[in-house]
């Protein structure tokens, strides 16, 4: 994963605006070797030879549980930047 930063920020912005990624701070963050999941921002597979960030959000209400997202580290950084900059729904 070596895509330029601006396209990643645009993808992160789209994921937030489209509701595919939340805008709140994760309840938990983990960094580890990829397990072959698709990145929630860029949509590319995170290979077992790559690092990944896994973020979790506790879900409360009618359907409690945990929402998990897998991201490349650069995609995580792009999402975090967009989340903090307030790139929510237009």
Over range 11-35, report the average pLDDT: 95
Residue at 89 is within a domain: no
pTM: 0.85
User: Is residue 90 a part of any domain in this protein?
Assistant: no
For 26-57, write each residue's pLDDT tens digit. Answer: 999 999 999 999 999 999 999 999 999 999 99
The arithmetic mean of pLDDT across residues 12-38, rounded, is: 95
Q: Based on the structure, what is the number of domains in the chain?
A: 1
Identify the domain containing residue 73 by its residue range.
5-84
Q: Is 56 inside any structural domain?
A: yes
- Those residues with Cβ within 8 angstroms of residue 55's Cβ, 6 or more apart along the chain or in another chain: 26, 28, 29, 30, 68, 69, 71, 76
Taking all residues of the chain, what is their mean pLDDT, rounded to a whole number? 90
């Amino acid at each position: 994963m070596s895509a330029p930063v601006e396209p990643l920020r645009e993808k992160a912005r789209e994921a937030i605006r489209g509701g595919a990624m939340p805008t709140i701070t994760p309840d938990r963050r983990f960094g580890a070797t990829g397990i072959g999941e698709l990145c929630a921002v860029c949509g590319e597979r995170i290979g077992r030879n790559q690092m990944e960030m896994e973020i979790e959000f506790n879900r409360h209400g009618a359907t409690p549980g945990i929402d998990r997202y897998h991201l490349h580290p650069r995609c995580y950084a792009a999402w975090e930047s967009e989340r903090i900059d307030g790139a929510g729904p237009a």
